[in-house]
Amino acid sequence: MKDILAKLQLALKDTKIRKKIIFTFAMITLFRIFTYLPVSVVDLGELRKLFGSSQFFSLLDIFSGGTLINFSVMALGLGPYINASIIMQLLTVVFPALEALSKEGEYGRHKINQYTRVVALPITILQAIGLYLVLHSRAVIPNLTPLEFIAFVTTLTAGSYIIMWFGELISEYGLGNGISVLIFVGIISRLPITFAQTLSTVNQQMVINLTILLVLAIIVVYAVVFVNEAIRRVPVYYAKRVRGNRVYQQATNYLPLKLNQAGVIPIIFAISFVLFPQMIGNFLVVSKNAQLVSIGSFLTNTFSPTSVIYNVMYFLLVVGFTFFYTIIVFNPDKIANEIQKHGGFIPGIRPGTATKAYLQGVLYRITTVGALFLGTVAVLPSVLSAVTGVQSIVIGGTGVLIVVSVVLETFKLIEAQVVMKSYDNLAR
């Protein structure tokens, strides 16, 4: 704890880092102001009743950044952008031109972000229309004239793009991944409400259950921190070499491979996918066609956050996205070439292709452990909820997992900035 506080003090003393922290908090404040700017046509009383009776909408609110519960102008939140990002990540793997673009550094990332915003537009409009139909069927939104309906959809679309913009500004000028930070803020703002709802239903048996859950929560948080910090050190030796007029002495280093390379991204991606069938079900259940209503009821019941199918899909998607994202962010071929270019080698492994194959093998093994752990932690709240009867764990558990991961990533970023500043001072 003292070490963390010492690093924070060093970070705050640095002007550049301090400006980033201030900018991040300024954007968070602006974001929270927008979450309290409601769309006028919505009956907030009926909306809160609906949220109190539906775990689906409560989970949806988490990934809107806490904007849906107040039905603000940002009610759609980050959902469309996350879905568009998933589509672009998949297209990057499928189309070589996009894959090549993603490797072009800052320019490539900028172009892919532009494409992501374009892809997000139809998704945002469709989600706005779907949300209107679902809430209209539950008397949360009254009948709207065509002009009012267009204004409603336009408002939600504009709000969604504003929150995307906030996230990108935080990523560029602030600290951490802007999208993760805004989701983190939304979860933190909702946790007291979730906690109060849980306490309101407490009885003697539930007190025992909550005590057990609290102990388990501490263990899970510790495990998440441990796995996020765990690394596999691959030793790399550099022989004595001469380049120009410089002589480089023999050196030993190591390549740190994280047990969880993907961080919190697989959880965010997976829950966006797993909520989709129930979203379609809520859309169909208000149809006038009896067959469509039947299909909608089947989807909403089958993919309820407490159902077995939902949790099996959630687990598999978390595992799948962990592997998928790890393959994208870590390139064994590039690492192997860099090691060979600088005259390095892994003991017992030939440089080049053999090094690439070795790194792939190590990466797949440790990623398997990390993915299975992440998937287990993701579905654990649902299992505990079924055992103890405390329904809010399903929402709170996912939220806590994201909060812990985002906090760890942010502190690592601050630490990296502090270390970089220290090296800069030594170099002068």
Q: Which residues of the chain fall below pLDDT 50? A: 426-427
Q: What are the E-state strand segments in 318-365?
A: 344-345
Strand partners, 246: 243
Q: Looking at residue 92, what is its pLDDT? A: 81
d(CA 63, CA 399): 9
Q: Looking at residue 426, what is its pLDDT? A: 46
| Residues 268, 180 contacting (CB under 8 angstroms) | yes
Domains of the chain as residue ranges with CATH? 1-200 (1.10.3370.10), 203-391 (1.10.3370.10)
For residue 112, the surrounding DSSP H or E stretch is helix 105-137
| Residues 282, 56 contacting (CB under 8 angstroms) | yes
Closest listed residue to residue 315, CA positions, set 396, 360, 375, 232:
375
d(CA 301, CA 237): 57
DSSP string, 364-390: HHHHHHHHHHHHHHHHHHHHHHHHH--
In 174-255, where does DSSP find H-type helix? 178-199, 204-229
Work out the number of other CB atoms within 10 angstroms of the CB of residue 361.
Answer: 11
Q: Nearest-5° angle of CA 380, CA 384, CA 390?
A: 130
Q: Looking at residue 283, what is its pLDDT? A: 72
Q: 242 by DSSP, 3-state: which?
A: strand
Q: Looking at residue 2, what is its pLDDT? A: 58
| Residues 311, 382 contacting (CB under 8 angstroms) | yes
CA 190, distance to chain mean position in Å, is 17
Q: Looking at residue 399, what is its pLDDT? A: 67
| Residues 76, 127 contacting (CB under 8 angstroms) | yes
User: Between the CA atoms of 163, 164, 165 and 170, what dihedral angle is there, to the nearest 10 degrees?
Assistant: 90
| Residues 149, 132 contacting (CB under 8 angstroms) | yes
